[in-house]
Structure 1
Amino acid sequence: MDILKAIWEFFATYILRQAPYMIGFLTLLGYALMGKKWYDILGGTLKAIIGMLILNVGSSGLSNTFRPILAGLRERFNLTACVIDPYYGQNAVTAGVEEVFGKGFSQAMTLLLIAFIVNILLVRLNKITKCRTLFTTGHVQVQQAATAYWLIMFALPGLLGYSTDVPMLIVMSVVLGAYWAVGSNLTVKPMQELSDGAGFAIAHQQMFGIRLGYWAADKFFGTNSGKRKKEIKKVGEMEMPGFFSIFNENMVCTAILMTIFFGTIMAVIGKDFFVASGATTEADNFVMYCLTTSLNFAVYLAILQLGVRTFVTELTASFQGIADKLLPSSIPGVDCAVCYGFGDANAVTFGFLAGLVGQLIAIVVLIVTGSPTIIICGFVPVFFDNATIGLVANEKGGLKACLVIPFISGLIQVFGSAFIAGWVGLADYGGYLGMFDWATVWPAFTVVMKYLGYVGVALVVIVLLAIPQIEYRLDKKGYYLITEDYEAYKEYKGIVTEENL
């Protein structure tokens, strides 16, 4: 028994919660179920792990490079506030959960494991539940389990009165597991269309945001958004005259835009802050420091895209073994950064900048109106939410959608987070998760559960599980075809791509 417990603890700690090794484990399992030779399994598994590690280098590089700039803005304007960032949010839960609720943080990790089992069961029964996606991003699951742990205890304090934590963990796991299964399932159609059937969904913090952005882009900016059919201009299809033609190159466009935008912000913050923080020295040329920091955005974005290209083929190919033998008609839900290897690369930058402008305007509004909770934008929500939503919006609605929808997303992230973080008390501990779904969907869940109690829990779960059922009934033929045979799906839908021309 002790041996089994040790094996489970090792798996939970070093595989389930570590995205590269979780991806590697799924690749290994998938290829093994397909009957591949041992050296093919080894090669594919290593490639998947290394690709995910490369993606993490790019992702963490982006965060580590630009987080000090946002901190500088906070200090420059003397703002004491709640930072919206998954890591600040997790730290806030860790710091306050015992003081506020008398519970330890370890139960949040137990919640993660049980919720993941709920996700697996919902996918295994997908012919009934219509849930087709397995949530594989362990680091995101840790962050979400922590925040859900706090929100549900706040909404349902009666759960704290039991002599055991079992009722509390069951309620939490059903809600969170259903959210993982349904949320990632919502991204299947946008991601399959964006990637031309690469075979993945998104399992991150903005899953409802992706589907909402996809719908809004098509509804208000797409080819059928007006009275007459119209042609949309995507970011990558813009023809730039003369000098502006250099913006057609993703790396050049990103470098120039980030240098102008963040170079200006760094100049406003001033050299003294960056010297004091240890980011540079008094002897260094500040102009060159600003230039190098801004150009690093293009560098880390290129690294991130390399990581995507390295592992996504192995994961999706091997996952066919899991789909055939264990989880039929399913595909993996992966990090949102995976989709940056598809579509118009410049849409990532435009979506990010539009979302940042929206967040900054919303923060000014909070300050001017005397809001009791002031929000400071963290890099992870402002980039990964809005870049992802912008990429999807561009695919359906072109440049206008790529700018307008992430801008609105930025406003929502700040206003929604200010409401929920202030209400539940996380603002007092300096952080909140703050990404799109957690500034919209989860505040709504919390309100419903707070005022309707266990009836509210049932209502939340029923609404979640009804979503894939509605999707299925709207397109019974295409619902599973889109994951099982995308070429047949395109023919069924009359989708024309460059390869078909």
Structure 2
Amino acid sequence: MEILMKIWEYFATNILQQPAFMIGLIVVIGYVLLRKPWYDVLAGAIKAIVGYFILAVGSNGLVTNFRPVLSGLKDRFNLDAMVIDPYFGQNAVTAGVEEVFGKGFGQAMILLLIAFIVNILLVRFSKYTKMRALFTTGHVQVQQAAIAYWLIMFACPFLLKSDIEMIIVMALVLGLYWAVGANLTIKPCQEVTDGAGFCLAHQQMFGVALNYWLAEKLFGKKKNGKEVKKIDDIELPGFMSIFNENMVCTSILMLIFFGTILVVLGRDYLTENGFLQEGASMVFYVIQTCLYFAVYLAILQLGVRTFVTELTASFQGIADRLLPGSIPGVDCAVIFGFGSANAVPLGFLAGFAGQIIAIVALIVLKSPVLVICGFVPVFFDNATIGIFANEKGGIKAALILPFISGLCQVFGSALIAGWVGMAAYGGYIGMWDWAVVWPVMTGVMKFLSYAGIVVVVIALAVIPQIQYRLDKEGYFKMTEDYEEYKEIKARQKSAAK
């Protein structure tokens, strides 16, 4: 048993928690199952791994580049508050779980393993479960396993008497959440990408599905029956036509919004905290910092194009041989290479505005839990939602829905983190699903005990069954043959007229 644990720990540390190598492994397995020659397998794995590294450079650059803005807002307004960010949330669990519950953090990694097996089994028996998505985003799984570990122990203290019972219940709930959540994003992703063959496996899966549906229902049709204009369909007059170019639009928007914040923070603050070198030009520091947003976004999109092709092509082997009809769930940043590029900065800024307003409201209302926005939730949640909202509801949806998302992230995180005790340890995950969906599930399990666990499990399991019954003819064709799926949709639309 000890040998097996060491093997698992090695695999979890070096592959499962390193999404680039996890993606590379999936590509290798897929191409081997497709009986590709060894040199094609090697080339595909290298391109997938390098592509993910490029994506990571872009993502990390975005986070690092805007650290002075977010830390400055905290320091300038003397806020002693909880940070909503996946890494702060994971650190809070690491710091406090043993003190609060008397359990070690190591069990969260065992939870991750068993929950991943649950996800695989649910997809393997998709004929019955109707779940078609494999969650492959390893670093996100680690973060979510940590937070779920805390939330479920808080909700179900009666499980603490038996480690085996506790881990099994946790793994069932978390594994179902991964499979069901990723499955919910299949239709939005396939429609936005025209059948690229992936879905999202991240922190806002339910949020994407709900906002995609809301965008269509609330904003998708004009009163005269015409389709709404998406961001890229809007022709701007005169000098404003420069905003049609994504790189220019992103750069100017960042200069206006974040440039203003940096100027307000001032040279003294930026110099004292090491963000601006002594004697350097403040003007060019602001310009460089804001323009780097466009640089890192371009790098991220290059990484997406590099590895998605290999992943989706190779995954066909896994789908054909091991997990019929399945597709991989990947990082939400992948969607930035599709849809409207300008929806990314607009969704981000709308969500940021929502978060700031919500934080001000917490301060005014003298909330016992104050929140500092982290870059990961405010950017990756809201930019992602902006892309999907724009696809179905145009520019109004791309601004309004991410704004509401920003409000939900702050209010929901403050509520759940204060209730379960994580706020005292300085962080909470803060992403859409964990600020909206998981507080509801935690409350159900807390107040209904064992019955609450049953309710949550059944509710999650029923969701894909409902999806299937709403579109029996096209449900599996959506992942197996997207061109045929589009023909089915066209026939259904013609028959409805």
TM-score range (shorter-chain normalised) is: over 0.9
- The CA deviation at 1:280 is 1.5
2:495 is matched with which residue?
Answer: none
Structure 1 stretches of 4+ with a deviation exceeding 6 A read none
CA distance in 2, matches of 1:485, 1:457: 36
Q: Matches of 2:13 and 2:277 in 1, distance apart?
A: 39
Matches within 5 A, 1:137-176: 137-162=137-162, 165-176=163-174
Displacement of 1:161: 2.1
Name the residue aligned to 1:414: 410
How far did 1:229 drift? 1.2
Distance 1:168 1:5 in 2: 19
Counterpart Cα distance in 2 of 1:402 and 1:243: 23
* TM alignment of 1:265-344, pairs within 5 A: 265-344=261-340
Structure 2 gap segments, 5+ residues each: 492-497
Distance 1:419 1:24, change over 3 A: same
- Distance (Å, rounded) in 2 between the aligned partners of 1:153 and 1:9: 23
Whichever residue aligns with residue 60 of structure 2, its letter is: S
The residue number in structure 1 matching 2:17 is: 17
Alpha-carbon deviations, 1:349-389, whole Å to 9, x = none?
Answer: 10000000000001111111111111110000000000000
Asked whether 1:202 is paired with 2:200, we answer: yes
1:56-455 counterparts in 2 under 5 A?
56-162=56-162, 165-223=163-221, 228-455=224-451
Deviation at residue 490 of structure 1 after TM alignment: 1.1
Q: Match for residue 476 of structure 1?
A: 472
Deviation at 1:270, TM superposition (A): 1.5
Tell me, in whole angstroms, the C-alpha distance in 2 between the residues paired with 1:279 and 1:159.
47
Which whole-Å deviations, capped at 9, do the CAs of 1:290-335 have from their partners, x for residues lacking one? 1100001000000000000000000000000000000000000000
Give the 3 Å change call, closer, same or farther, for CA 4–144 of structure 1 in structure 2: closer
Give the distance between the partners of 2:384 and 2:423, measured in 1 at CA. Answer: 26
The residue aligned with 1:499 is none
Alignment TM-score, normalising by the size of structure 1: 0.97
**Cα distance in 1 for residues equivalent to 2:75 and 2:102:** 33
Distance (Å, rounded) in 2 between the aligned partners of 1:272 and 1:462: 56
Alignment RMSD: 1.3
Paired amino acid for 1:178 = L
* Amino acid paired to 2:462: A
One-letter code of the match for 2:389?
A
Alignment match, 1:498 = none
Q: CA–CA distance in 1 between the matches of 2:424 and 2:2?
A: 41
Number of aligned pairs?
492
Partner Cα separation in structure 2 for residue 200 and residue 416 of structure 1: 29
Amino acid at match of 2:169: V
Paired AA for residue 102 in structure 2: G
How many angstroms does 1:159 deviate by?
1.3
Give 1:228 deviation, angstroms. 4.1
1:355 aligned partner, one-letter code: G
1:49 matched to 2:49: yes
CA distance in 2, matches of 1:44, 1:176: 31
SS of 1:270's partner is helix
Task: Give me the whole-angstrom Cα distance separating, in 1, the residues matched to 2:391 and 2:240.
Answer: 22
Supply the AA of the counterpart residue of 2:292.
Answer: N
Query: Alpha-carbon deviation of 1:4?
Result: 5.1
Q: Aligned to 1:332, what secondary structure does the other structure show?
A: strand
Take 2:152 and 2:49, find their aligned partners in 1: how far apart are those partners?
34
Cα deviation, 1:266-289, whole Å, max 9, x if unaligned, reads 111112222122111121111111
Unaligned runs of 5+ in 1: 496-501
Aligned-pair CA distance for 1:227: 5.2
Matches of 1:188 and 1:71, distance apart in 2: 36
Q: Secondary structure at the match of 1:476?
A: coil
Alignment correspondent of 1:467? 463
